[in-house]
Amino acid sequence: MQIGHPRIETRLPPSLMRRIQIQLAYDGSAFHGWQVQPGLPTIQGVLEAIVSGMEGRPVHVAGSGRTDAGVHALGQVAAFSIENPIPLANLRRAVNRLLPPAVRVLSAVEVRADFHPRFDAKAKTYEYRIVREEVCSPFEWPYVHHYPYPLDEDRMERLAQNLEGEHDFTVFAAADDSDAEGRSKVRTVFSSVLEPGSGRLIYRIRGSGFLKHMVRNIVGTLIEAGRGNIVNLAELPSKSGPTAPAKGLFLVSVEY
């Protein structure tokens, strides 16, 4: 689909290429995740179409990580390099005009030329939302996992805390294309907290990095613990509990 937008013909010399970092919020319900996939709507795909059109050439938009299909973001970070001299405030407004309403650029800043939103990240925080009430509002349904059945929340809280520290999280990782490269699945979790509320459970995890489906598999395992099927980490089988639905997961922030 051709996207219309104003063209700015003035160009900077190649040596003055600008590296732009943007912070994004998006409702992932209608998207097949972050990463470009042929013929499918993705966050990266729609951003690259817009920025490439403004620049007049293909532009790669790198993200801090690949959120799965249906996962939301409050503070995703991305970056791209352009020659276009458009002021940052105008750039943000122009991109937001062309984006679907489910995706918003919250901020745009210039950064050093070699900045990479994934490799330079020091920590990420994810949040998973569970509704425990018998009835889930239709206005919450797209953004929570509705689980109204009995759970031992104290056991779930204890298990969540035990995930803190440096561990091999292989048991919580889904198969990934990079597995053939033999990359380490050791990650450091700085905090892992389950917070009960009024008819809600909020799970927050902050770590150095996350494997494919890692947070959703942790949540599925915590639910299994709440059901009484797992008492402690030592009882974990070679596979985690069921993967929790994508719609309850939010990328909250990325730290640099």
Active site residues: 68
Angle at 106 between CA 105 and CA 112, to 5 degrees: 85
Cβ–Cβ under 8 Å, residues 50 and 95:
yes
Residue 147 and residue 37: Cα distance in Å, rounded?
A: 32
Cβ–Cβ under 8 Å, residues 188 and 166:
yes
Residue 245 and residue 216: Cα distance in Å, rounded?
A: 7
| Total residues found in the chain within this entry | 256
Cβ–Cβ under 8 Å, residues 194 and 201:
yes
